[in-house]
Amino acid sequence: MPQLLEHIDAIARKLKRDVLYLEFLKTQRPHRADYRNLDSRSRIIHWLDNESIEWRECGQVASETVMRSYAGEIFINVPFDEADNQYRKVQAFLEYPDGTMRFHDVRFYVVTLQIAMKNAHHDESGFWGRWADNF
């Protein structure tokens, strides 16, 4: 069944703040849909659920020049704030103290509101419909 996912930059604009985002690398996956079978992704989702940390699937930063299929990306609804206990908990789970990732096939990003605002025109009514008509 089709599912409508928000792009991570649209989420940042909606929340009016920087947002946390996970990407899963295609290291040994022949097909993008195989993200469902990634041990790292399953472990992270299980941990987030056990910690009662809100998350949801999302798309990458929207692009008018590239079309991508969903590859397992996750938005973590915790503010990017090193003083925030939940942020520190998420960071400690995903990264070693030196900042390297605990999971070799995961990238942990902050999408800043400043970057997200570069696509603010995407939020205009009918933008994506007009874009599709001209594709």
Q: Which long-range contacts (CB under 8 A, 24 or more apart) does 29-36 make?
A: 32/69, 32/70, 32/71, 32/72, 33/69, 35/70, 35/71, 35/72, 36/72
Per-10-residue mean pLDDT, the chain, length 135: 85 98 77 78 98 97 86 96 97 97 96 94 82 78
- Please report the pLDDT score of residue 108 as a whole number: 98
- Angle 11-16-19 (CA atoms, 0-180°, nearest 5)? 50
Where helices occur in the chain by DSSP H, the ranges are 8-15, 39-50, 85-94, 113-116, 127-133
- Please report the pLDDT score of residue 11 as a whole number: 98
- Please report the pLDDT score of residue 28 as a whole number: 57
